[in-house]
Amino acid sequence: MRDLLSAALRRGLTRRSLVTGVGAAAIAGVTARPAEAAPGGARQWGNGHRTRLILLGTSGGPPWWPGTTRAGTASAVSVGDRFYLVDAGHQAGRQIRDARLGDWSHDTDGPLNALRAIFLTHLHSDHTIDLDNVLIEGVSNGLQRVPEPVQVWGPGNRGALPPLFGSPPAPPVTAPDNPTPGTAEMIALMVRAFATDINDRVFDSRKPPPSALFSGHDVPIPERFLADPNGNPHPRMSPVPFYEDDRIRVSATLVQHAPVFPALAFRFDTDDGSVVFSGDTGPSDNLIELARGADILVHEVMDRAWAEQLFPQPRDTSAEARFHHLINAHTTIEQVGAIAEAAGVPTLVLNHLVPGNRPEHTWLRAQRGYSGKLVVGRDLDILGIGPLAR
């Protein structure tokens, strides 16, 4: 099942030894400009590029991780004067502000006037919790000026509750009439939840209604891959294109984050180059296929040693099961380099760091098995894709 990955792992481990540091010069394949200093240690390699990847938040969740300033997972791809949001973890709204995306010439007209679409890899709260901030408060932060509604894309309805993990009795089901809503349903429910605020803004302040500002959509994964969410949540498939405008084309594939389903990875193709977001996943051949030929792979990563501390030895059967349940849904530091190697991407960017408060050198071990450029993501890092803008 993991043929691509295991072959790459064998090749990579014999060819490449551990390196200890990556500086600005190592990103020369991504950008022609040196990094510029920015508050908080963010690196602005992408200044001057038409197409840029901006890391808004780099920690996985849902813990807020004491001792770090990392925001929850969120990224932006900007192409010229527009940008697209990938996931909306905690503080995504604030990070859009601090990244100076969009228009800041007026207190209330930006920055979301430049936002064209949002892509949610899956509906775990650490990827969606700031969505209401962006969409509902958005009406006073530039969303009221979008030329057409911002499309919010993400996975559809899971179709079944996840299996009960551990021993009965089963806990109560939340919202039993529809316990696993998909993205389109979630956006509609969000509007209902904020109806008091929305009706005040619309009737009193004469703001545009939500239907003029945003719309929810389920990524159209073919039905045959969605048939068995509990038995086969990660069927082998090829990428499915589903979104296109005059700046970007976006494709999706299913990844391995069971029992979360559907869990998606996205590829953005632009005239300047391509960037792929893994979402949350264990090693996935679907992802490797999606990332082939891309310029940048943004991949989640987990410190296995942290998971081992959560479930210290000796483990009973239950603790052993919970430990494997956790690490099988994610990718460890030791695994991620081989994945980037198998995909043949020249730059690997680590985000969704779990735990989010480990020192940066912890993650540099991801270079093992990978011959390209490794970037341990920091909030507000900017990477250029393709040539400098003329």
Write out the residues near Zn ion by the rule CB under 5 A.
60, 124, 126, 280
Quick one: 102 or 356, whose CB is closer to Zn ion? Answer: 356
Quick one: 79 or 88, whose CB is closer to Zn ion? Answer: 88
In angstroms, what is the minimal distance from the CB of 238 to Zn ion? 23
What is the torsion angle, in degrees rounded to the nearest 10, for the CA atoms of residue 382, residue 57, residue 353 and residue 327? -120
In angstroms, what is the minimal distance from the CB of 125 to Zn ion? 9
Q: What is the 3-state secondary structure (H, E, C) of 298-332?
A: EEEEECHHHHHHHCCCCCCHHHHHHHHHHHHCCCE
Quick one: 125 or 205, whose CB is closer to Zn ion? Answer: 125
In angstroms, what is the minimal distance from the CB of 311 to Zn ion? 19
Quick one: 57 or 60, whose CB is closer to Zn ion? Answer: 60
Quick one: 127 or 247, whose CB is closer to Zn ion? Answer: 127
In angstroms, what is the minimal distance from the CB of 73 to Zn ion? 6
In angstroms, what is the minimal distance from the CB of 260 to Zn ion? 6
In angstroms, what is the minimal distance from the CB of 58 to Zn ion? 12
Quick one: 116 or 124, whose CB is closer to Zn ion? Answer: 124
